[in-house]
Structure 1
Amino acid sequence: MNVIKLANTPHLVERAALWFSDKWEIPVEAYRDSIQTSIANKNGIPQWYVVLNDEQQIIAGAGIIENDFHERKDLTPNLCALFVEVPYRNQNIARQLLDFARVDVSVFGFEKLYLVTDLSGFYEKCGWEFLTLVEDDEGELIKMYVADTVLKHKF
């Protein structure tokens, strides 16, 4: 399965915006606007990615945005909205998305990519390191991870 960069595939904007909105309960307009911005500015942030199955259904996705709703505005850009449909989990699809995003953002000159999560153990297996606790927009502490953007292997 291949990772598709939405900035290069505008025909998927509406499907992707609806899919991300359904997974994360954020208004579809927010995703639509962010994906449209990535199309208009292919060489910057935000960026969005999806994976399709053989039937051309979206089965996984992720994005890169400036800040994923936390206090540390200096720790940017942030990977966000990573989701893999349940039947497709444990097939390295999330790792493919994470690695693709890391390589993609390196092209824009970023050396580090950050993410916030409440998961434990998963991101370490994918080459990410715990960095610190940050306060999210609701005042709760959440774990922040970091990864270098340049990987040893290529796609």
Structure 2
Amino acid sequence: MEIIEYEEYDKKDQLIDCLKVCEWGAGKFLAKLIIEKSFEKILGKDGKVFFLMDDEKVVAFLTLTQKDCIDDTNLFPWIGFVYTDVVYRGKRYSERLIQHALKVAKEEGYSKVYLATDHVGLYEKYGFEYVENRMDVWDEDSRIYIINI
């Protein structure tokens, strides 16, 4: 298995197709942001989408961006859109991607990374610490986590 970055992959259409048929609505939304070229406008400059690939099959994906669903420009960067295909769950593949994103963030000079979710107990096992709940841009309650890198 290998981790690839969307912008550096030569078969971008394959990745978009995977996002478009993703069972998770946020995957479809991510595809829409990329297709409509609004990814940067919504999530900030220099954002990245990482995919964990099993040959040419997408196993998992996530983003590393300046913005996320919490409207606070003082908090950045964010790991978001964390998803693992149903067939591959339970093998900590999302952890591999998260560790990769944290490494990239550190290389870019960041000392902490944020994550917003409605999951309880998932990201704590990867080293994230709960900060607080806030309303997200869709007026839904979201848990904010932080990890120092």
* TM tier, smaller: 0.7 to 0.9
Structure 1: any 5+ residue segments left out of the alignment?
A: 38-43, 150-155
Distance between the aligned counterparts of 2:3 and 2:100, measured in 1?
Answer: 7
> Relative to structure 2, which stretch is displaced further, 22-31 or 140-149?
22-31
SS in 1 for 2:127: coil
TM-score, reference length from structure 1:
0.80
Contact 2:19–2:30, Cα closer than 8 Å, also in 1: no
Distance between the aligned counterparts of 1:27 and 1:93, measured in 2?
Answer: 19
Contact 1:135–1:141, Cα closer than 8 Å, also in 2: yes
The count of corresponding residues between Structure 1 and Structure 2 is: 140
Contact 1:71–1:136, Cα closer than 8 Å, also in 2: yes
SS in 2 for 1:70: coil
Q: Matched residues, percent identical?
A: 20
Aligned to 2:50: 49
> By how many angstroms is 1:67 displaced?
1.3
> By how many angstroms is 1:16 displaced?
2.0
Aligned to 1:152: none
Structure 2: any 5+ residue segments left out of the alignment?
A: none
Q: What are the within-5 Å matches in structure 2 for residues 2-151 of structure 1?
A: 2-9=2-9, 11-23=10-22, 24=26, 25-26=28-29, 28-32=31-35, 33=37, 45-54=46-55, 56-149=56-149
> Relative to structure 2, which stretch is displaced further, 132-141 or 99-108?
132-141
Contact 1:20–1:81, Cα closer than 8 Å, also in 2: no
> By how many angstroms is 1:27 displaced?
6.2
Distance between the aligned counterparts of 1:126 and 1:119, measured in 2?
Answer: 13
Cα displacement string for residues 33-67 of structure 1 (whole angstroms, at most 9, x for unaligned residues): 377x7xxxxxx73011101113x111211111211
Distance between the aligned counterparts of 2:15 and 2:112, measured in 1?
Answer: 26
Counterpart residue type for residue 51 of structure 1: L
Cα displacement string for residues 114-144 of structure 1 (whole angstroms, at most 9, x for unaligned residues): 1100001010011111111122012222101
Give the root-mean-square deviation of aligned CA atoms: 2.0
Counterpart residue type for residue 15 of structure 2: A
TM-score, reference length from structure 2:
0.83
> Relative to structure 2, which stretch is displaced further, 114-123 or 57-66?
57-66
